[in-house]
Chains A and B, each alone.
Chain A
């Protein structure tokens, strides 16, 4: 097995992991979106309810921002980082890879 194969395998593993992270994030985002329509002034009226609802929306906007925007970027970053680390390893240790 050469370094090329090892790099490809490590990158593939990272991509698989990130794919699962992405699926999990999508499931959470779907659940948040499903809750939204019920948490409105059609369901209740009153200052305490409105305050609670505002707080809930504000908090889950952060979660949505994390899952929908920051996390995908981080997933790409993770894959790239794995690739570059493996390539750096190959440069530091030229020659054939000995099977363990």
Chain B
């Protein structure tokens, strides 16, 4: 228990100012005195001046903290905290206790201000608390103490600020559309920054619950909207078996649920609206929409994204984001009672399934496309791994579940005159493609899964990494959507072919099991399925050529990009890779850029001697064998992990296609000629059906 002192707030403030002046005087003059005297071999010791300089910083800060606390307590209408005689205020004296008491006083002051919104002093009190938070942004002890005590008041701060100014009777037409003033937003930025820092330092579970279960979720969300990037927040609450999703994720989930249930109230309104107001209303609704702000912060946090999309509402949210690309949800400020002309002070957000009675004015709200893309992309970026089985927020499991939800809810592409057209912007398509690449081995294996429901499970009976399984029939929409753009179609086919080559090299080296578990066969089959999908896409000749070029470019480019990630295996003793390693090799969360230089030139050369279809099977196989050291490639046709299908390669192939390649994944290590492996792969990839089976 700290010793208390009864202080005169005004005199303590003057003492603080005097000590700050002394601090500044010492900082300005001590270095000069010491330096000058020492240059003359000072006959007196000046060490104590350095001590004074250091001490003065602490003295001044402590006295200022006491002063602020004394004023804060004096401002509070609490007889318990004020010493009656002479207006003296009782404060703790020691530094850390002063901070804790200041946090408590700030919490009380905020509560008092919010409960008296019409009192002009309330605004000044909120400003004072804002300054105190600003002063303590690098002081986790103060921040956690403040937010642990003030969480309910912090959560309703945006609503309180709105009620104090922008929500007051509109002075003119334009001010009707102001939900928060720039000054309000600045205050919320400080409170949001403090909240993020306190969250990272460790908020109490009660404080987290008070924010995510706030009665006014719009208000709580504005802290996040105007606060710092999502990376400033914690990635989870608590640790070990007690861990919970992050504050960001929990709040997003609650906002989504409330919005679906028609319980989000955005305080814009209270006055008659007409058709002429539509643009301004829609702009304001969009600017202060809580869900879009949260999704953006979740994407920046990453963990929050996979906790939300892999969590209990993940499937419903994915459905909203992907199955309804344009109108995500609506806002209305229905008159009450209908037709009365009396408009409520808020607009209510409704989910797509909400039944409205048709009398209300409807305003569309669509989430920014880049926000949706960033969120989807982050949601499957948890990586491949096993994690701790008892971890309630296992990133690998949640990320895989998020991928399942994305794949399950991706609609088929639009059809325009029988031709498939992408339903999404390039940004969203990119996010869907990233998910495809990250979970490529799973998707390939899913092609043979004929169950009813998708699920995530741990590989190898609960010992290995988290994987996903999608019923084969449910993959079609997703694959067609990815394939609707010719360039993307070629790109993902190139990725599959390249990974197939990697899997092939691992198979013949005995790294993968050739019987129960054959990613090589799975990937070759997935490739074949993509070839089949082409029939449904009805590409024009030009589009087919684009897809063809993109695929061959990416086959060559992927070889180079993946080379650093391939485990080069030595003797049999170290051939056993962990499951995580194997899946990391086959599903790498990196999207290489299209090659436009060397790969293109190489392909021009290759097309002189091989058909495109031949190259699609041959290049990945040779790359896979070269990466594993099964064959020794020649520098004349193999550079930086890339097979260059030039004349030298053609010569090498002619001379070596009868070379025996031993399959160490099977008992007895059977051997097949290189050309036999190639022919088998060609068939699995259904390249005989490829429109480019003939030389172009």
Contact = CB atoms under 8 A, between A and B. Distances in A.
Bind each other: yes
Interface of A: 14, 17-18, 20-21, 24-25, 27-28, 30-32, 34-35, 38-39, 42-49, 52, 56, 59-60, 62-63, 66, 70-71, 73-74, 77-78, 81-82
Q: Interface SS of chain A: helix, strand, loop or mixed?
A: helix
Interface of B: 2-8, 11-12, 14-15, 18-19, 21-22, 24-26, 28-30, 32-33, 36-37, 39-40, 42-44, 46, 48-49, 52, 55, 59, 88, 93-94
Contacts of B26: 28, 31
A31 B26 CA distance: 9
A62 B32 contact: no
B45 to A, nearest CB: 8
9 contacts: A17-B36, A31-B21, A34-B18, A46-B4, A46-B93, A47-B3, A66-B44, A78-B37, A81-B43
Q: Interface SS of chain B: helix, strand, loop or mixed?
A: helix
Contacts of A39: 15, 18
B32 A43 contact: no
Contacts of A62: 48
Given A24-B28, A49-B7, A78-B42, 13 more contacts: A18-B36, A27-B29, A31-B24, A31-B25, A32-B22, A35-B19, A44-B6, A46-B3, A46-B6, A48-B93, A48-B94, A73-B44, A78-B43
Closest 10 CB pairs of A and B: A46-B5, A48-B3, A24-B29, A38-B15, A48-B93, A35-B18, A49-B5, A31-B25, A43-B11, A31-B22
Contacts, number: 110
Contacts of B25: 27-28, 30-31
Contacts of A63: 48-49, 52
B4 A59 contact: no
* Residue in A17, A20, A31 with the greatest tally of chain B CB atoms within 10 Å: A31
B33 A17 contact: no
B91 to A, nearest CB: 9
A44 B92 CA distance: 12
A45 B18 contact: no
B564 to A, nearest CB: 60
Given A27-B28, A49-B7, A49-B93, A34 B44 contact: no
Contacts of A30: 25
B6 A25 contact: no
Contacts of A70: 44
A22 B58 CA distance: 26
A25 B20 CA distance: 17
Nearest to A26: B29
Contacts of A28: 22, 25-26, 29-30
A35 B15 contact: yes
A81 B39 CA distance: 13
A46 B7 CA distance: 9
A18 to B, nearest CB: 8
Contacts of A21: 32-33, 36-37
